[in-house]
Amino acid sequence: NELGLVAVGFCGGQGKSGVDAAPMALIESGLVEQLREELEFNVHYDGEVHQYAEIIPKEDPDYRNMKNPRAVSAVTQALSEQVYEHARQGRFVLTLGGDHSIAIGTISGTAKAIRERTGREMAVIWVDAHADINTPETSDSGNIHGMPVAFLTGLAKEDKEDCFGWIKDDQRVSVKKLVYIGLRDIDRGEKKILREHNIKAFSMHDIDRYGIGKVMDMALGWIGSDTPIHLSFDIDSLDPMWAPSTGTPVRGGLTLREGDFIAECVHETGSLVALDLVEVNPSLEAHGASETVRAGISIVRCGLGDTLL
């Protein structure tokens, strides 16, 4: 059981500092030892929380309404290479963020490696309060953590090499292979995009109506068996009761158990190839972020099959 771990201390996809400290907080809570000893993974980890300081440009004016476009582009391009290298060697890839903009790097990396290794198109399950599918033009905030899915699906494109022009077709995923779970705070422009492209989305309303068990059956049914899956888990999908330390909390979210259950179900398919855990911000919780960090560790363990008999 080979696992590649990438720790990404990056917060430039949004405005609040602190989310860059999450990988260290998760690792200090003993996550790596748990992966090695309890879950018996052979963990390939360079022992570093990457800050990418050497590649972040000093000058980074807004471009197409995006904030820090060159920084996010450079970091995600480097991350894409790291993730690709792990996935190419057949390792499961666990990435600890960082804000959700880093998914541009992780998913582009796995999508390309999976294509090369299996000739198949990878599916993405995006668990989040938000859709993160704004284009630079539909975004109100200009924060790139609200745009990764647009770049990954090609709904947003850019020729300028240092502003995501590096993303090529073999690193993209199809909107048909994308499934959302947990949505409850979607911008107007995003709703239009979701409707126009017929993107599969299970909102909190659907979870209330059908229950999480049925929703997972439907979500995995949409993807179909035997399709490699990348799970991108934003901790703000959980209700702030369980995960208060996050930059853009939205009430009315998943319980801790529903979050764990999602990760367990995806693990059970046997098709999970990568997991991102993002948007944990230890600095936003009064008593040391222990709750949110613990919730994050729980999600990771469930995604790796820990809680299944």
Minimum CB–partner distance for residue 67 and ligand ARG (Å): 10
The yes-or-no answer on residue 60 being catalytic is no
Cβ proximity to Mn ion: between 69 and 98 the closer is 98
132 binds Mn ion (CB under 5 A): yes
Binding to Mn ion, residues 70-109 (CB under 5 A): 100
Q: What distances in angstroms separate CA 33 from CA 28, 51, 87, 108, 292, one per listed residue?
A: 10, 22, 21, 28, 19
For 36, the token pair is 């090695």
Of 20, 60, 99, 128, which one is the catalytic site residue? 128
Residue 100 contacts by C-beta under 8 Å, 6 or more apart in sequence?
Answer: 13, 128, 132, 145, 146, 148, 232, 234, 278, 279
Q: How far is the CB of 225 from ligand ARG (least distance, A)?
A: 29
Integer Cα distance of 271 and 250 in angstroms:
30
The smaller minimum CB distance to Mn ion, of residues 3 and 83, is found at: 83
Q: Are 5 and 96 in contact (CB under 8 A)?
A: yes
User: Treating both helix axes as pointing N-terminal to C-terminal, what angle do 290-303 and 256-268 enclose, rounded to 10 degrees?
Assistant: 20
20, 60, 99, 132: the catalytic one is: 132
Contact 172, 152 (CB under 8 A): yes
Active site residue 44: no
Site for ligand ARG, rule CB under 6 A: 100, 130, 132, 134, 139, 141, 143, 145-146, 187, 234, 236, 248, 279
What is the distance between the alpha carbons of residues 73 and 71, in angstroms, rounded to a whole number? 5
Choose the contact partner of 141 out of Mn ion, ligand ARG, none; CB within 5 to 8 A by kind: ligand ARG
| 276 catalytically annotated | no
Least CB distance to ligand ARG at residue 11 (A): 11
Q: Residue 137 CB, nearest distance to ligand ARG (Å)?
A: 12
State the catalytic residues: 100, 128, 130, 132, 145, 234, 236, 279
